[in-house]
Amino acid sequence: MTYCLAISVNDGIVFASDSRSNAGVDYIRTCSKMHRFFWPGDRIIVLLSAGNLATTQAVVNAVQRDLDDPKAKFNLLKAKHLFDIADYVGDLSQKEQHHHGPAIEKNGGSAGASFILGGQIKGHEHDIYLIYPEGNYISASIETPYLQIGENKYGKPMLDRVISMDSSLNNAARCALVSLDSTMRSNISVGPPFELTLYNGDSLEEPRQMSLKLASPYYKTLQKSWNEGLKRAFSRLPKFDWE
Amino acid sequence: MTYCLAISVNDGIVFASDSRSNAGVDYIRTCSKMHRFFWPGDRIIVLLSAGNLATTQAVVNAVQRDLDDPKAKFNLLKAKHLFDIADYVGDLSQKEQHHHGPAIEKNGGSAGASFILGGQIKGHEHDIYLIYPEGNYISASIETPYLQIGENKYGKPMLDRVISMDSSLNNAARCALVSLDSTMRSNISVGPPFELTLYNGDSLEEPRQMSLKLASPYYKTLQKSWNEGLKRAFSRLPKFDWE
């Protein structure tokens, strides 16, 4: 399993991902699910991936292959709109799934994969898209300015309570970490290091990047502060009338 | 969908359930999922239900039919152990599923149902059990003294942070309400009124019962306090070093 999310606020975009990959509970590894493609001044593109690891790696490899080929019909540099790239990633994903899917399904597995794509192309607004395993995609909305892939339930309540378009980029990043932390506590197939990318909207500058391990001083402090804050909030809940 | 949970602490048991039932998103109704059977001084039994409503109602009807029949081979009053009742409910559920399941599956539905059973029989400890659709069952553990059925993910993180065997019955009840509240915010198929039953362990007395609507003064105060407490905890999270 996996948990990745992107939050698109007025100030920019936060991308966050866990790094646990597993084939059954008896084969666990760590691998990045955040793929960054930066051309400062022109375009900033981030791709988060969930689902079948072979499919997602094949899609990222195909993206790279097209980038390296000046004769490619389409690639990240030739795209005019971000949603053209969403289309392209959806097509690459479907192609890979058609290639290996039948053999995988015969063994009871699934070749399915989902992606979150986000960033900015010069002349356009920053945006985020969720690309479904079927290859189609949606964008976030003003009312719900975040998208999630993988194990999305445990970490959703805090996003719903805290995040709005007016949230600062730093607050969105903190909320993404809290969301990842809640998920990790309830689902052992989601785990650190947690990767973060903070893109300042309209800057077209290389985003700020972090990788947080359990032992990272910032993550430890955040985890402790959040746990204590929740317990304090809980201890202040109103008493029942019989107490 | 549904969300029900039971928390068994040293002081007793809290049962909590939502009341939304739906057949698709275009047919929503309100119905209780908490079934109480009290014989103060002898046995206190509560059954929470999730899944196919016809199955769960048929099971509860069968329980009542056996109770009304003095010649019944087994019923709630004849049970020596609580786990005998778990066995019995599992068997009733499987019987009902075999009866109507094939016709339901032909229409793409499922006759499956899960239950949480809890309470106390004189001479034994209080306990809770989760009865799977397959009819088998598990009890809670000292490390994880709660059980959930239905939409269990959104409301799990707070239980994991707050609940232990030493939690007071009132705190367990508050945590159950917070867990229901988080679930309701993220899943529209879970909704009020929320029913609560608080059983004081070893008392064998009739438990305290509440039904909380959105407009109930206690629930409104709790919701506001929790929301503000979470936002306060969030606002106190440590700043990044670049802030």
**d(CA A153, nearest CA chain B) in Å:** 5
Residues B227 and B178 sit within 8 Å (Cβ to Cβ):
no
The beta strand positions in A91-214, using DSSP E, are: 113-121, 127-131, 137-139, 146-150, 194-200, 208-212
* Order of strands, sheet of A43-51, starting from the edge strand that comes earlier in the sequence: A34-39, A43-51, A113-121, A127-131, A137-139
On chain B, the residues whose CB falls within 8 A of the CB of A220 are none
CATH class given for the domain over A3-213: alpha beta
Q: What angle do the packed helices B217-235 and B169-186 form, to 10 degrees?
A: 80
For residue B57, count other CB atoms closer than 10 A to its CB: 15
- Note the pLDDT tens digit of each residue in B20-52: 887 777 777 889 999 999 999 999 999 999 999
Give whole-number Cα distances, B33 to A25, A146, A167, B46, in Å: 34, 33, 39, 10
pLDDT in tens, chain A (243 residues): 799 999 999 999 999 999 988 777 777 788 999 999 999 999 999 999 999 999 999 999 999 999 999 999 999 999 999 999 999 999 999 999 999 999 999 999 999 999 999 999 999 999 999 999 999 999 999 999 999 999 999 999 999 999 999 999 999 999 999 999 999 988 888 889 999 999 999 999 999 999 999 999 999 999 999 999 999 999 999 999 999
ipTM, 2 decimals? 0.91
| Residue of B5, B151, B153, B232 to mutate, testing the A interface (most A Cβ within 10 Å of its Cβ) | B153
Q: Assign domain B3-235 to its CATH superfamily.
A: Aminohydrolase, N-terminal nucleophile (Ntn) domain (3.60.20.10)
Residues A17 and A195 sit within 8 Å (Cβ to Cβ):
yes
For residue B192, count other CB atoms closer than 10 A to its CB: 19
Are the Cβ atoms of A233 and B226 closer than 8 angstroms? yes
- Note the pLDDT tens digit of each residue in B159-191: 999 999 999 999 999 999 999 999 998 888 888
For residue B211, count other CB atoms closer than 10 A to its CB: 14
Q: What angle do the packed helices B53-68 and B82-106 form, to 10 degrees?
A: 140
Low-confidence ranges of chain B (pLDDT < 70): none
Are the Cβ atoms of B170 and A243 closer than 8 angstroms? yes
Q: How do B28-30 and B20-22 pair as beta strands?
A: antiparallel
Are the Cβ atoms of A218 and B237 closer than 8 angstroms? no
Q: Which of A156, A158, A229 sits opposite B236 (nearest CB)?
A: A229
- List A20's β-bridge partners, or say none: A30
pLDDT (0 to 100) of residue B23:
73
Longest dimension (CA), chain A: 76
| Residue of A211, A223, A230, A241 to mutate, testing the B interface (most B Cβ within 10 Å of its Cβ) | A230
Tokens of B50: 């999730």
Mean pLDDT of chain A: 95
Are the Cβ atoms of A236 and B229 closer than 8 angstroms? yes
On chain B, the residues whose CB falls within 8 A of the CB of A182 are 157
Mean pLDDT of chain B: 95
Name, in order, each residue with C-beta under 8 angstroms of A97's C-beta and a sequence gap of 6 or more: A55, A111, A112, A113, A133
Q: What angle do the packed helices B169-186 and A217-235 form, to 10 degrees?
A: 110
Give domain limits for chain B: 3-235
- Note the pLDDT tens digit of each residue in A24-83: 777 778 899 999 999 999 999 999 999 999 999 999 999 999 999 999 999 999 999 999
Q: Which of B171, B186, B225 sits opposite A157 (nearest CB)?
A: B186
